[in-house]
Amino acid sequence: MPAFWKDLDKLQEYVRFVYTGQAEAYQKLRRERLGADAGSFQDRIEEVSVKCVTDQERIEWVDALFNRYLDRSGGASSFVHDFFEANAGRHPYLISLVSYHVLGAIKRDLLEHPEQDFDGYKTPTLNGFLENALKAIEQPRRDFFASLVDSLDHEHRFDLECLARAVALEEKERMLIPALEKGDPNVNSMFQDLAGEGDPRESLHPDRLQWMEANGLLVNADESRSAQFMAKSFAAYVFEVYAKSNLLRDQPEDVVISLLSSKPGMVRTIVRGRGARATMSDKPLPSAVRDEFMQNFSGYIRQRFHPGQVLMHNPACFLAQKRSATTSCPSSRRGISKGIWRTPLRIPLSC
């Protein structure tokens, strides 16, 4: 075995090697193998962290993969690109992880059904591939996120938590904009409540942000106001696992529920904050969106009662985020025992 490493040492003038892996395994390799038997090779090692790509580069990357492995020229559909944006973001590892499972599932189906053409897939069928891919990537993606955060010192992790809280607050503000435009009298007070929580971005340190961007955790980190996580899924993970655990535990999360309005052709969104106030906003509901919602919701209900028997038309519309709101069901006079009903924090109506 030592002969191999000595031969590797001789090749350092001619060959470039790329090693990817976890930090502990990499350091063990350098300490036990390279340091002992290939010192010259080790001295010339250059460590390069994986950096994020732009949104356009991700789109071109995914299109090229679909063209190559599915023998087509049209690239991926906008539906697929939206899935990659939400679940892979701009990190090369996540893009590769999602691509492997999505393309693998589609390619297997095309090989098993030669008469099937990719362009002939309807949205429910294509969504089934994406849903299966989402389940497959969930654990390795969480492991990857955990390894990123665990590698940080206290100060960098603090900045990451602050940014996660900032992103969450900004999302709440964004969801209040439609009600503000409608002139809802309760919205101003809700904005004041959010403002009272302060601006977590003021605590961000520019040098630490830029370091995390260079190491693939963040993007657009030249300024604290523009800094974002490299993927929405990473932001949600940091908020759920780290930032949320440091918030006051007696403060319930905001709950946003979209539902059909009694007005024809309208959808009503009810937003309830941490107080007793609730604000409502109505907006037009296109008939096509309404019909798709009813079809998807019907399939979702059937699958919940008969898992595995019914393929949801578009289950992504009803994916519950990891955070869930709990509602107690009081005991009735007939002796029905008290229970807990867990409901999604958010149920987006239009997907």
Convert the pLDDT of each residue in 81-117 to its tens digit. 999 999 999 999 999 999 999 999 999 999 998 888 8
- Burial pattern 118-131, b for ≥16 Cβ within 10 A else e, equals beebeebebbbbbb
- Band (287; pLDDT cuts 50, 70, 90): confident
Instruction: Give me the mean pLDDT over the 171-179 stretch.
Output: 83
Q: Per-residue pLDDT tens for 297-309?
A: 776 666 666 654 5
Name, in order, each residue with C-beta under 8 angstroms of 132's C-beta and a sequence gap of 6 or more. 101, 105
Name, in order, each residue with C-beta under 8 angstroms of 96's C-beta and a sequence gap of 6 or more. none
Instruction: Give me the mean pLDDT over the 177-197 stretch.
Output: 78
pLDDT of residue 86: 92
Instruction: Give me the mean pLDDT over the 253-267 stretch.
Output: 62
- Any idea which of 12-21, 214-223, 305-314 has the lowest mean pLDDT? 305-314
Cα–Cα dist 228/125, whole Å: 33
How many other β-carbons are positioned within 10 Å of the β-carbon of residue 296?
A: 21
pLDDT of residue 21: 61
pLDDT of residue 344: 36
**190 pLDDT more than 90:** no
> Is residue 83 helix, strand or coil?
helix
Choose from 156-160, 192-196, 249-253 the range with maximum mean pLDDT.
156-160
Closest CA to 277 of 344, 341, 196, 193: 193
pLDDT of residue 288: 72
Cα–Cα dist 10/77, whole Å: 48
Give 31 or 102, the one with higher predicted confidence.
102
Instruction: Give me the mean pLDDT over the 45-68 stretch.
Output: 89
Cα–Cα dist 179/283, whole Å: 9
Instruction: Give me the mean pLDDT over the 115-132 stretch.
Output: 88
pLDDT of residue 24: 72
Cα–Cα dist 258/261, whole Å: 9
pLDDT of residue 273: 53
Instruction: Give me the mean pLDDT over the 36-55 stretch.
Output: 80
- Any idea which of 79-88, 123-132, 243-252, 270-279 has the lowest mean pLDDT? 243-252
Instruction: Give me the mean pLDDT over the 334-339 stretch.
Output: 32
How many Cα neighbours within 13 Å face the side chain of 251?
Answer: 11
**Mean of all residue pLDDT scores within the chain:** 76
C-beta separation of 297 from 318 below 8 A: yes
pLDDT of residue 30: 79
What proportion of the chain, given as a percentage, has pLDDT over 70?
A: 69
**127 pLDDT more than 80:** yes
Give 137 or 46, the one with higher predicted confidence.
137
Cα–Cα dist 94/50, whole Å: 11
Which residues lie across from 343 on neighbouring strands?
325
Give 317 or 284, the one with higher predicted confidence.
284
Cα–Cα dist 171/232, whole Å: 11
DSSP annotation of 54 = P
Continuous segment of H or E residues that includes residue 255: strand 255-260
228-229 and 346-347 beta bridge pairing? unpaired
pLDDT of residue 258: 57
Sign of the C-alpha dihedral, residues 178, 182, 188, 190? negative
